[in-house]
Structure 1
Amino acid sequence: MSKKLEILKKLKLLTAVAIPLAEVVGLDGEEAAPARVPANGRIIIRTGDPGEPEIDLSPLAYNWSHRIPIEFVAVETATLTSEEALDNMLVRFGAAIAADRHLGGLCDWLGIAAPGSEDIYTDGAEPPRGAELVLTANYVTDSELS
């Protein structure tokens, strides 16, 4: 398995553990925006774009800065507004990333760009709130394809 896919799968697992009640999708053909948002929210991890690597020649190494978009969607609950529920998801995700910036040694560093939030229009009474952030995974491989 390529390092790119290993990182994406580990990121999906880390997200599911950090926010256990939310539906976490991605990497399996379910990356489309939802028509209905589950009661505990949804997180979509996109495959993103590894871009063009910087190349070291001796020894040969490909240095990637892989931009991974992650979408968060939250709905109002009995005790939280949709904005508060979204904020809780983002805080938990941020804490999980801060606790393991190297994804167990898979990458050199994970950086997060600050998200913005907006209403998402789907089927249902109250519009859920959504946010998209871009996580950048910096890692090195010994091949363009690994």
Structure 2
Amino acid sequence: MPTFRETILTALHARLSALPASALRGDVLPERVPPDGLLVLRDGDPGEPEVTLSPVAYHYQHRAEIEAAIQGSDRDAAFDTLCASIGTTIAADRTLGGLCDWVEAEAPRPVDLPVEGAASLKAAVIPVILHYATADPLA
């Protein structure tokens, strides 16, 4: 049985998989970026929880990361569209079906990455903060 944290990350990955870009989870970047773009969800860091007692609850602000990449001639517009679609997907259900108290993305910091013998990449890491509580930090 997966942990609560894994269930939340799986739900976020499922939402990202519904986008036109290819969505991976924790994989290395492939040699080629698909035409619609590439998203890689990284598990990130749950951080130190706030703890409440009676009943015991661990309140996390888990910082996951989405690596987004676009390659091609019109990469600026395509990257902007990809980032907007991630934002729309998160805003459509900020609780991931009731698993989280709140989900929010932070603004990306895009960079252009040269690729030898091919069009350069436009890429960024998009932090996603997952607010949730659990009764056990290992459950």
Shorter-normalised TM-score: what interval?
over 0.9
Is contact 1:36–1:123 with CA below 8 Å preserved after alignment?
A: no
For 1:125, the equivalent position in structure 2 comes to 118
For residue 25 of structure 1, what is the amino acid of its counterpart? Answer: L
1:41 paired residue among 33, 37, 42:
37
Deviation at 1:70, TM superposition (A): 0.7
Deviation readout 1:15-45 (Å, 9 max, x if unpaired): 111x23x111114xx2x23322112211010
Aligned partner of residue 126 in structure 1, secondary structure: strand
Unaligned runs of 5+ in 1: none
Identity percentage over the alignment? 37
Q: What SS is found at the alignment partner of 2:40?
A: strand
Q: Which residue of 1 aligns with 2:23?
A: 24
SS of match in other structure, 1:104: coil
- Mapped to 2, the partners of 1:123 and 1:140 lie a distance apart of 46
Note the residue ranges of structure 2 that are not aligned, 5 or more in a row. Answer: none
Query: What residue in structure 2 maps to residue 102 of structure 1?
Result: 95
CA distance in 2, matches of 1:24, 1:120: 20
Shift of residue 124 of structure 1? 4.4
Amino acid at match of 1:52: E
Number of equivalent positions: 138
- The one-letter amino acid paired with 1:46 is R
- Superposition RMSD on alpha carbons, in Å? 1.3
Flag the structure with higher strand content. 2
Alignment-mate amino acid for residue 109 of structure 1: W
Alpha-carbon distance in 1 for matches of 2:114, 2:4: 36
Q: For residue 63 of structure 1, what is the aligned residue in structure 2?
A: 59
Runs of 4+ in structure 1 off by over 3 angstroms are: 121-124
Match of 2:6 in 1: 5
With normalisation by structure 2, the TM-score equals: 0.93
Equivalents in 1 of 2:118, 2:100: separation in Å? 42
CA contact (8 A) 1:68 1:136 kept: yes
- The separation in 2 between residues aligned to 1:72 and 1:109, in whole angstroms, is 22
Matching of residue 15 in structure 1 with residue 1 in structure 2: no
